[in-house]
Amino acid sequence: MTELAYINGKILPIKDAVVSIEDRGYQFGDAVYEFIASYDGKMFWLEAHLDRLIRSMSELSFPVISRSFLKDEIYRLYDKADISRAGIYIQISRGIAKRNHAFGNKMVPQLVMTIRPVSEVSPALKENGVKVITMEDFRWGRCDIKTVQLLPNVLAKQKAVKAGVYDTIFISREKIVREASSSNLFAVIGNKIFTHPLTRHILEGITRKVIFEICGRLNYEIEERFFDLDLLYGAKEVFLSGTVTEILPVIKIDDKFVGKGQPGPKARAIFKALRACTKDS
């Protein structure tokens, strides 16, 4: 089991990996990324991650990189590291060029990756739930593209840390609930599970997609719809979802407890079903 980096085809120890100072990902945040987790030696929903990565590149007019090449190189790094429960970070920048806001049509994308054991969320947090706070969403207008432009997310997460809670939930100026700093959000309101529709204001999470499939199997009603902060405060259950987050119940939002202040049955059932899915990936 070895932690490794990949730089444009070369695999080496992470401590030895470097990129050019004129890489546009470093100077402009002109890069996209994905994070894939594995379970028991199998990457989870790799094809969906590749779909999203290729879409992100297309939305930013990046030169095309073939899907088969990306897949082969991801597996080459994964097999070399031999980490059963791995987290694979993939970043593609537009390329290296003299610093200039405008870019030419001869850019060569730079592909870098790292692989390490997944930094798991504490089992105690998954069992007991977490507390969160809310704040007005101040991110850029294309949160549906998975770019490295994450400074607002970083500041939101740090605000949560300073407040002694797990995360921050972004709320629009109109008080519409969006998502957390690195997770999608679901709320059980009445007998339905609600989550924000797929607009430019949230990222289409891969685990989010899996949850829709799971809810179909469990006969849980789930709906994409806009809902406001007052409805969130009154929800029976709230939970976050993400590649590392998996399913994480929320028991308190700002100064208000969610439901009875403990994880609810739907979140627990969905988490159990998610873990079952990983065995078939």
The predicted-structure confidence for 152-203, as pLDDT tens digits, reads as follows 999 999 999 999 999 999 999 999 999 999 999 999 999 999 999 999 999 9
Helices H / strands E in the chain, number of each = 8, 15
pLDDT (tens digit per residue) in 138-153: 999 999 999 999 999 9
Helix, strand or coil, per DSSP, at residue 47:
helix
E strands within 137-267?
Answer: 167-171, 177-180, 184-189, 192-195, 221-224, 237-242, 246-253, 256-257
In this prediction, residue 18 carries a pLDDT of: 95
In this prediction, residue 279 carries a pLDDT of: 66
Active-site amino acid positions: 146
Mean of the per-residue pLDDT values for the chain?
Answer: 96
Report all structural domains of the chain as residue ranges with CATH numbers, in order of start. 4-117 (3.30.470.10), 123-278 (3.20.10.10)
| Mean pLDDT along residues 253-280 | 92
| pLDDT band at residue 1 under the 50/70/90 scheme | confident
Q: Can you tell me which residue has the tokens 């407040």? A: 163
Hey, what are 131's tokens?
A: 């507390």
CA triple 254-259-264, angle to 5 deg: 115
Q: What is the pTM of this model?
A: 0.94
pLDDT (tens digit per residue) in 36-52: 999 998 999 999 999 99
In this prediction, residue 105 carries a pLDDT of: 83
pLDDT (tens digit per residue) in 123-135: 999 999 999 999 9
pLDDT (tens digit per residue) in 64-73: 999 999 999 9
